[in-house]
Amino acid sequence: MKNSKNKFFMIGIIILLVWVFIEAYFYSIAVDAQKNYTNDLLKQAQSHYNEINNIRNLPENIKNLYVKKNNEFVKVDPDLLVHSLLKKYQQSGFYYTVTDDTENNLDKSPSKYIYSIDKKTKRLKYFYDGIALDMDAAFYIDRMNSVWLKFFLVSLLFTTFTFTLIFLIRFLAIKSVSYRRLSNTLEDKVKEQTQKLDLAFEGAGLGYWHWNIQTHEHEVDERWLQMLGLEADEVSKHESDWESRVHPFDYTRIMPIIQRAIKKKKPYVVEFRMLHRNGEYVWIQSSGAVTKVDENGDALELSGTHQEISKRKKLEQVHAKNELYLKTLYEKNPNIIIISTGKKIIQANEAFFHFFKEYASLEEFKQEYNCICHFFSPSKYEDTITSGEGEWIDDVLKAKEPMVRIYYLGQEYYFSVYVKKIYEENAMHVMATFNDITDLYKLRHEYEELSIKDALTSIYNRRYFNTIFPRELNRAKRAQESFCFAIMDVDHFKLYNDNYGHDGGDEVLKKITAKIEELTQRSNEFFFRLGGEEFGFICSALTKEEVLKNIENMCKAVEDLEIEHLYNKPYGVISISVGICFSSDVSKSDVKNIYKNADEALYEAKEKGRNRVVLVENC
């Protein structure tokens, strides 16, 4: 690359030197031409000088000159003749004068004459021996200007050509460097790719082979030999050596495949067993393709690779066994297992048809239903998934304890659901397992009922209140609904227990809760025993007037029970006092403040004489 740069640099220097030499040669020609034209002009001036000088010397040379006029000879004055001739000379655009001095701006010549050429007026001023000439020099000046114009044009053209040539050489030099770099880069890339290919062959455990179909030669590399535990001198370069090492059963199986690939000139991949040096067979995967054909297009040579795949074959055998075991587990599993897209069932195990007894096959089932989700129905506890096609899978994946209720042939069943996504052939399927938990589900909810119900009154207890209160408040915030919390207290209940007995007190609490429960049947109403003779009531989405009316009805209903309580003066019967916190906008409310305001309202109701309702707003 460096030598190439130097070569083009030297060529450029030579061209510049040639340019300088030729420019100097052209300049010298122009200068010589100017000198020649100048000399010619001076020669003409000298000739005019000689003529004028001869005319001036006529009086000396011609003393007596006669002219015949009217048959008489008349003597001519020589001075008058000279004057006439000189005047005629000047009329032809020529001027001269006789002087004793010279102008400062005239060029001095070694020939003792002085001259000056005015290129603007195109005149020559010439002085010699006391005579000054002013003559027309346009012809010579035009010729000299033409010479210089030609010089500059030729110089410009030659300079343009020269520097164009230099720039072209520079361009070729750059391109040469670029091509050289590209060539070196390509060579490096070829070497790099060759090294990578060798490393890839080595890393992949590939052995190379080449087969000449015409000569029956079969050449292999070292890695090919290592697969069979062989040395180079242990194999011949004939195709029969390879044929003798292939398992006989596999040879009859793979040769038709290879021959067909050769005929169609297409690549092939076959797997077969070859005899190892230790006497055992190893599995080989052979890939090959036609690499040379004759003028008729018939295959002449093949090349390809060998890769030992014995471990993979063993794993495939294990996989096949595992697949058989998994299939058995799938089919014989007591749980219902289906493969689905989320909208359509693709497969189902035997347990599926044991449950859906009306259908003998999946095709028969799919004639009526595409998805098992068509059988999903809500439970009274609202804890089961009921979404339909395309949605139930996502709901199962999101749920903490996904369960579904299936109502089939007049009976309800509960299943826990487990879903696993399966990615296969650019498609996503799911395997869903349905485990029958009907008995467990019912038992669990019976236990939950016991855990959230008050043992004496069978209404919700304080524990459940602590769960429902914040949940309903947050729901009202999201729905932008009104919210109401009321605290109810049985008036003078301690006096009742002291005078009528605790058993009587328990009966009073049962009757009160039963009556109030009759009046709280809406889905957004909850009634709790908070402790002792204190109760809580929660509702939402009602106006203040509706809330006040409902709770006043509860108070009246309790009083109308007419349960004797002589120590509850002045009423003489069981009554309750209620404090209500009502908010039409609960966006900034919290549980603690609402409870506090309701408790203060209850205290106010008791202070005002009991058996009454006190309501505070926007607490």
Domain ranges of the chain: 2-144, 205-313, 333-443, 453-617
- Local confidence band at 17 (pLDDT 50, 70, 90 cut-offs): confident
Q: Is the peptide bond before 570 cis (omega within 30 degrees of 0)?
A: yes
The arithmetic mean of pLDDT across residues 433-459, rounded, is 90
Mean pLDDT value across residues 428-453: 89
> Across residues 453-482, what is the average pLDDT?
94
Mapped onto helix, strand or coil, the DSSP state of residue 120 is coil
pLDDT reported for residue 104: 45
Q: Return all residues near 296 (Cβ < 8 A) that are at least 6 apart.
A: none
CATH no. of 205-313 = 3.30.450.20
Q: How do strand 336-340 and strand 427-436 relate by DSSP bridges?
A: antiparallel
CATH architecture for segment(s) 333-443: 2-Layer Sandwich (3.30)
> Is the pLDDT at 103 greater than 50, yes or no?
no
User: Does residue 1 carry a pLDDT above 60?
Assistant: no
Structure confidence by residue, pLDDT tens digits, 195-206: 776 766 666 678
Q: Whole-angstrom Cα distance, residue 263 to residue 213? A: 12
Using the predicted structure, report yes or no on whether residue 59 has a pLDDT greater than 80: no
Sign of the dihedral defined by the CA atoms of residues 172, 177, 178, 183, in that order = positive
**Do 375 and 365 form a contact (C-beta atoms < 8 A)?**
no
| Residues contacting 84, CB < 8 A, separation 6+ | none
If one compares 133 and 542, the residue with the highest pLDDT of the two is 542
| Straight-line distance from the first to the last Cα atom of the chain, in angstroms, rounded to the nearest whole number | 90
- pLDDT score, position 5: 59
Mean pLDDT of all residues in 304-324: 89
pLDDT tens digits for range 264-279: 999 999 999 999 999 9
276-294 as b/e: b if 16+ CB within 10 A: beeeeebbbbbebebeeee
Q: Residues 356-409: pLDDT tens digits?
A: 999 999 999 999 998 999 999 999 888 999 998 878 999 999 999 999 999 999
pLDDT of residue 82: 59
Q: How far apart are CA 42 and CA 261, in angstroms?
A: 101
Angle at 513 between CA 512 and CA 516, to 5 degrees: 85
Q: Which of 584, 604, 462 has its CA nearest to residue 526?
A: 462
DSSP letter string over 508-538? HHHHHHHHHHHT--STTEEEEEEETTEEEEE
Q: What is the DSSP secondary structure assignment for residue 286, as one 8-state letter?
A: E
Q: Report the C-alpha gap between 471 and 526 in whole angstroms.
A: 12
List phi, psi (to 5°) of 4: -65, -40
Tokens encoding 522? 């809406």
Predicted local confidence at residue 121, as pLDDT: 79
Q: Say whether 453-617 and 333-443 share the same fold.
A: no
Top-confidence residue, 233 or 55: 233
Confidence category of residue 19, pLDDT binned at 50, 70, 90: confident
Give the bridge partners for 309, in sequence order.
none
Least confident of 326-335, 402-411, 457-466, 541-550: 326-335
Which range is least confidently modeled, 47-56, 147-156, 221-230?
47-56
Q: Which of 103, 7, 93, 89 is nearest to 53 (CA)?
A: 89
Structure tokens at 472: 């309903």
In single-letter form, the type of residue at position 166 comes to I
**Residue 16 phi, psi (nearest 5):** -65, -40
Q: Please say whether the structural domain 453-617 has been given the CATH code 3.30.70.270.
A: yes
β-bridge pairing 72-76 and 336-340: unpaired
Banded model confidence at residue 179, pLDDT cuts 50, 70, 90: confident
The mean of the pLDDT values for the chain is 85
Give CA–CA dist 143/501, Å, rounded. Answer: 153
Look at residue 105 in the predicted model and tell me its pLDDT.
Answer: 44
Rg for the chain, CA atoms, rounded = 63
Report which of residues 165 and 404 the model is more confident about.
404
Any idea which residue has 């398992």 for tokens? 247
